[in-house]
Amino acid sequence: MNKSLFGTVAALGIMAANTALADTRLVVNCFWPPQHNVCTKILPGWLADVERVTEGRVKGNIPPRSVAPPSEQLASVEKGIVDAAVQFNGLIGNRVNGALVAMQPFAGGENAEAMSQALWETNRAFFPDEFDTVELLAQWVVTPGQLFSMTDKPITTVADMDALKIWTLPGPITAMASALGAGAVATPAVQSNEVISRGVVDAHFGLGGDAVKAFQVIPYTKSMTVFTQPVYSTSFSFVINKDKWAEISPEDQEAIRGISGVVLSMTGGRTWDEESAEVFATFPDVGIAMVNADPALEQALKDAAKPITAKWIEDATAAKIDAQGALDFYMNRVAELTK
């Protein structure tokens, strides 16, 4: 081989090696059951968009099983165990405060896509740097959690809550149910089936349409209580490891931000809405009745919620967030976006 040809081949080899080194592969964790929409739609869709907008320079995969429990998603990203993950904000309330604005009782609406847009806008305006150990890519709010009875007696009055044995989502739902005299058994949503299927409770409070399907509790459910204003929604944050993010070129970072942020946030909420609507549509066929809450029950829950929101405002203010301003902004944007 002549020197010129050898040099050309060598140069091409170096370029190929550099190109290979420049490619970034993301390990994106999903803690929900494999059939859940986050694992089958939201995260795979985002990864496909990432590969598209970076022209294949950034790719990723989702492990078949979660590498960490729900409470450790943020920590697993910080430690580099995985590169990106979705964290339920209710489990990191000791770390972040602003993200909980969308989890204040009676602050949202029925439309998760609108709530997700409102949350992202609130984040950008009031607490954009709250996640300082990771890069925040999106935040979304899910379809409101509901109150379900597992017995032939629907839950419609304040009296129905007294001494009721009930599974609850940890946080505000547990506090409100307890304030009304219920005996709450609180676990993360992914553990709800363990409690509900064993028959140790007579009701459950906090799961949305997607969750009653994903966590397979529909067979144990007989009625759903409908309120004039949704009681409670949960929010999630999608984060990526800072060192892994730094491996990506500024141009590709900008491209990824373009399909993350409000775009991914709204996609997350919209996917939840669609999934929940499909599940609720099956309720008549599986014998789950829809019953209206007595106004006094709804008011009692609102009264029980007041100290919860007051405490959040106190904590968020101590974290140097304009908490009341953020809450007002979020609620006004939800109202505007759902007109």
* Cα gap 221→115, rounded to integer Å: 27
Chain position carrying tokens 């970034």: 24
| Beta-carbon-side half-sphere exposure of residue 273 (alpha carbons within 13 Å) | 16
pLDDT at 33: 87
Q: pTM, whole model, 2 decimals? A: 0.90
pLDDT at 6: 42
Map out the domains of the chain with their CATH numbers: 22-141+234-276 (3.40.190.170), 146-232+284-337 (3.40.190.170)
pLDDT at 339: 87
DSSP line for 138-200: EEEE-SPBEEEESSSS---SHHHHTT-EEEE-TTHHHHHHHHTT-EEEE--GGGHHHHHTTT-
Residues with Cβ within 8 Å of 51's Cβ and at least 6 positions away in sequence, in order, are 58, 59, 60
* Cα gap 215→192, rounded to integer Å: 7
Give per-residue pLDDT as tens, 212-228: 998 999 999 999 999 99
Averages of pLDDT over each 10 residues, the chain, 339 residues: 44 40 87 92 98 98 96 97 96 92 96 98 97 97 96 98 95 95 93 95 95 94 97 97 98 98 98 95 96 98 98 97 98 96
pLDDT at 22: 53
